Amino acid sequence: MTAPALPEGFRLIHFDRVGSTNDEAKSLARAGAAEGTLVWADEQTAGRGRRGRAWQSPPGNLYMSLVMRPEGAPARAAQLGFVAALGLGDALAELTGQGLTGPALQLRYKWPNDLIAGGRKLAGILLESETTASGGVDFVVIGAGVNLVSRPTDVEFPATSLAEEGFAGVTPPLLLEAFARHFEPWTRRWRADGFAPVRTAWLARASGVGEAVRVRLEHDILLGRFSDLDDDGALLLDAADGRRRIAAGEVFPGLG
């Protein structure tokens, strides 16, 4: 298998099989790995999603984790989830021929860090970070799993795969290469111009904006209308008791 050709500044570390690419990337980051260190595995045996949930990781899909060392507060570093979503979305659009002749992949962004196609989850992004003694960000690991040839079935939010959507020719190396190529300019723009252009691009393809949603928090469920993103990336929910700002949670369609 030919190694992906990545832009300058990326360093690829490949495993045939690993417990979790995020765990590997965090270990490397603690040991001083530079920004751009990218861990890629053909298979994970202990992959996980949000809140530590198990993430099925059979061969054929893409599993990757990227070390970043952004400056600023943790709240700003969390915006990298949106940057990564745009990079991944642009890569998928390129590889599935969006904007060309023929049917295109109907890709949308689901707050905070998922990509969906046809209303079902195609990819998930998981950010994990550690801070310095002074409270700044030491590193952020951006983990991503993309269902290329298979999808999990025992999940709360329905899932799909690229093959199931009619795009069977995209391989992990191809998508990894395209992701790095599109993520890099989005990162440069975020660093130069802030969150505003990222927010605008994400909202242009967002799922659920203006619609009724359920937002599950750690100890509560809120009902309301997904109004907007604020300037930091938090979800603004118009609930019965007024507008609520939600920095972390899980969104589901409808009020049922």
212-253 CATH? 2.30.30.100
The helix (H) or strand (E) run that includes residue 67 is: strand 62-68
Strands 250-253 and 242-246, sheet pairing? unpaired
Tokens for 91?
């890569």
Place of tokens 């605008």: 200
Contacts of 51 (CB under 8 A, 6+ apart): none
Predicted TM-score (pTM) of this structure: 0.90
pLDDT tens, per residue, the chain with 256 residues: 567 889 999 999 999 989 899 999 999 999 999 999 999 999 878 765 554 555 556 778 999 999 999 988 888 999 999 999 999 999 999 998 754 444 578 899 999 889 999 889 999 999 999 988 888 899 999 999 999 998 877 777 789 999 998 888 899 999 999 999 999 999 999 999 999 999 999 999 998 888 998 898 888 888 999 999 999 999 999 998 899 999 888 888 765 4
Q: Which CATH number fits domain 11-204: 2.40.30.40, 3.30.930.10, 3.40.50.2300, 3.20.20.70?
A: 3.30.930.10
Q: Between the CA of residue 6 and those of 9, 174, 178, 247, what are the distances in Å?
A: 8, 10, 8, 33
Task: Parse the chain into domains and list their residue ranges.
Answer: 11-204, 212-253
Check: CB of residue 131 under 8 Å from CB of residue 138.
Answer: yes
What is the structure's pLDDT at 54?
55
